[in-house]
A and B are shown apart, each in its own frame.
Chain A
Amino acid sequence: MQDNAFAEVSTSKSGSQILKMSLISKRYQGVQALDDVGLVVQSGEIHALLGGNGAGKSTLLKILSGLTAPDEGTIIFQGRRVVIESPRSAQELGISMIHQELSIIPDLSVLENIFLGQESLITQRKSWTPWVNRREMAKKVRSVATEFGITEEELWRPAGEFGALKKRSIEIVKALVVQPKILILDEPTSGLEEHEKELLFGHMRSLQRLGVALIWVTHHLDEVFGLADNATIMRDGKMIAQTSIKGLNLGDLISLMFGTPAATLIEQPKIREIARKNGSEDRFKTLEVTGFKREGVLKDISFDLWDGEILGIAGLAGAGRTELMRALMGIDRLESGSIKVFGKIEKIGHPEKAYELGIAMVPEDRKVLGILSEFSIEKSISISKLVNVLKSGWLNAKKESDLASEFISKFSIKTPNSREKIRNLSGGNQQKVIISRCLNTNPRILIFDEPTQGIDIASKVEVHKLIRELASAGKSVILIASELHELIRLSDRIIILREGSIVGEIESVPEKIQIYGYEVVEQDILHKSSRVKV
């Protein structure tokens, strides 16, 4: 065995057909999840797999990675017909998957994470000892790790210390250890900052150079261009198209994915009528934050919030955006700082108090922080203000279901009935339920932290529209979004955080876009938030 564990990877020729899945069907108890779907991947290509939520991408990938078996259809891998029974057999064939949720174990070192479950690869050499030889491990992965931005010294540190991008790199190197021929990437850019995405795309090109074919699932269609070679587009369990990316534009992709003309889904940049009257005196200051300070996280932050505006908060991960919101909601304690809500000094020591004052939050990381998974839609909506569904002091089932029905029809939440558990809904619909929960408290101030994380483009547009409508109705909105495009298109005003301080503010964003152009505004924010010259 050679010292370099990856020497064999590049032996396969690029350009030949490595995988052909054809006429794959899968039914789950009467529901056709996949209907005669095919997928053809050339070796060494980047192949985008696109489709809305519930299009069947996940099912197809589960079949390919051995998590579930197809009812019908054949899989031909490297010219041979294969049956993939388990994740193990997929891996033995050379098919690996990097999941959307990171599977890094924070307390283990980077090195140990890379070889997790593959310890046999290094123990066979000195077979008289059953122990894992760490030096051997390090020797094997050193060169590859460096290529993906992990230094030798970092290999020995606990993986939990690193940010989302490094963790992706760790997962990539981990996948490469077993010398895959096909690597499946499920939403690899989720949780990454704008500039980190570029680095990740660089990594993807390096993988391509190593001769690994990539199957890439993404909701961010704009990322596909210039990176992917071919795309397979799915809708409602069927394969709609298999095409080369060259010559297509964003609009084409969207209409293929959703079967509707792109124009109805792509948001048009336009100046929203801010609900302000004639002079600025008529506008109402809803929130006044002064001198927020928290050791190591927030350094003397002050800002105002007006009714009817969308205030965007820009900044890289770790700049203190979420921490600021947590402090505002009373989740974390502050060392100093005061809040005026509607002109009155208030002490917010607990989210309960924040809700009483009319502040509501749609949190980031919906699955962990957002949903109460065991609750039905009804219970999920009423929970933040149970007073609304009480009848002489007791919870009233009728009132509760009426309330839920109202929001279900208002936001067209897709569900068989209002008693369905929230965890059974798709991401976009879960988010609508959480927004309903906030609106049930009749808030004056709404905080949206990454509101469109992990939801498909159609739901995204709906959430954007909703945020605009809320602001137009006079509510104050604070918006955090890592996707700069989203932040800039939605916000009226943007403040930029860096390392816990406000380093810049852009007033009347829509006008600025009209005058200087979108690019200039974006460059300005990037420049200020990263301190690095852009």
Chain B
Amino acid sequence: MKNQSKFSKMIAIDGVVILAAFVLMVIFFSLKADSFLIPDSIRYYINEAVPIFIIIVGLTFVIIAGGIDLSIGAVLGLSAGTSLTVSMWGWPFWMAVIVGVLTGLAFGLLNAVFTTIFKINDFIVTLGTLNIAAGALTVLTDQIQLTGTKDTSFKRISGMNFLGLTSSIWIALIIVVVFELVLLKSPFGRRIFATGIGQVPALISGINTQRSKFGAYLISGGLAGLGGVLLASHLNSVQSGLAGGYELTAIAGAVLGGVSLAGGRGSVWRAIVGALFLTTLNQGLLLMGVDPLIFQIVTGLCILVGVVIDRAVYKFALTFSTQTRESNSQFLRGKRFSL
């Protein structure tokens, strides 16, 4: 009995299950595909996934605060467009960065205002802004051929090398660390959690829940903007429909990592592990020579299986590691409905 409870305490630690699955997957692929563990290959696919890693950070804030942000992919694409446009006009690279980030922030602000001040459903609002951003990018690319800037410093934003990693990866790393600290160690982050656990009890305990949510949407928008700048700098070309669907990959990664869509549970690193899982899966399948046409199906299956296993383990750990019997079973019964 003792051992069992120790075991259940261990697996109850947030994120251990997905991390274990991730490690198993890495072992599997390294046995099956020779080129899988080559540093260059790893660096390459991580670098490609940087925009996802950056928007998933902001998305984590929004989801934990009890919202959802569907607009991040489209906003990322539009920000890539605006920053590349001004760079092609001959503006200096730092102005291009500012324009890109501001584009993202503007959409973050729009989401924040509609969800917190007009109190419209998060899903609807961000679905609306998704379409606005995607449409705006179509209009923009229709006006100007965004086929590349001559400014080499704009290209260098993402392409410089430090200690063997690109500046893109470094920026993503810094963002992950800084925002994880903000989420877990700052009063603002704590209030985000409280807001997501329950708007009304949080309000009654003296938290300005609307302000927390407002902040979360701003962060999400701003980071999508920054992600757009990095993507534009990396590709040096932007077409209509760029980064469409990134939001779904990000949401899938976050959920797989154990960020609860009901709000109030999760962390940045867990979401990142989820995203890493998905991108590594893709890379592994690619190197194994699996037909790319079925990638999406495999990814979808992984999400379903992963989430089911994670929830099952969570319930198991909960049943056996905590003390109060009655409240446990009550909780579990309630959980069935909230999933």
Contacts and interface: CB of A to CB of B under 8 A. Distances in A.
Interface string A346-388: 0000111011000011010000111111110001000111110
A390 B187 contact: yes
A352 B186 contact: no
A329 B208 CA distance: 13
B325 A28 contact: yes
Interface in B174-220: 181, 184-187, 190-191, 193-194, 197-198, 200-208
Given A29-B5, A394-B186, A420 B323 contact: yes
B331 A363 contact: no
Nearest to B184: A395
B207 A383 contact: yes
A461 interface: no
Contacts of B319: 29
Interface residues of A, number: 47
Nearest to B182: A394
Contacts of B201: 363, 368-372
B326 interface: yes
B1 interface: yes
B324 interface: yes
A355 B191 CA distance: 15
A424 interface: yes
Contact of B205 (A373, A383, A421): A383
B331 A423 contact: yes
A249 interface: no
A7 interface: no
Nearest to A361: B204
A459 interface: no
A384 B326 contact: no
A425 B73 CA distance: 42
B323 A352 contact: no
A383 B325 contact: no
A251 interface: no
B197 A375 contact: yes
B41 interface: no
A117 interface: no
A14 interface: no
Interface residues of B, number: 36
A467 interface: no
B265 interface: yes
A30 interface: yes
A351 B206 contact: yes
Given A383-B190, A390-B187, A372 B205 contact: yes
Contacts of A62: 329
B328 interface: yes
Contacts of A30: 1, 5
B258 interface: no
Most A CB within 10 A of own CB, among B184, B201, B207: B201
A200 B4 CA distance: 47
A424 B327 contact: yes
A74 interface: no
Contacts of A375: 193-194, 197
Contacts of A352: 206-208
A426 interface: yes
Contacts of B314: none
A369 B199 CA distance: 9
A100 to B, nearest CB: 11
B316 to A, nearest CB: 11
A59 B329 CA distance: 10
A395 B206 contact: no
A105 to B, nearest CB: 13
Most A CB within 10 A of own CB, among B186, B204, B327: B204
Given A29-B5, A384-B205, A424-B322, 6 more contacts: A29-B320, A54-B324, A331-B203, A363-B204, A383-B206, A416-B323
Interface of B: 1, 4-5, 181, 184-187, 190-191, 193-194, 197-198, 200-208, 264-265, 319-320, 322-329, 331
8 contacts: A29-B4, A29-B5, A331-B204, A369-B204, A372-B201, A375-B193, A395-B185, A423-B331
3 tightest A-B contacts by CB?
A355-B206, A386-B187, A28-B325
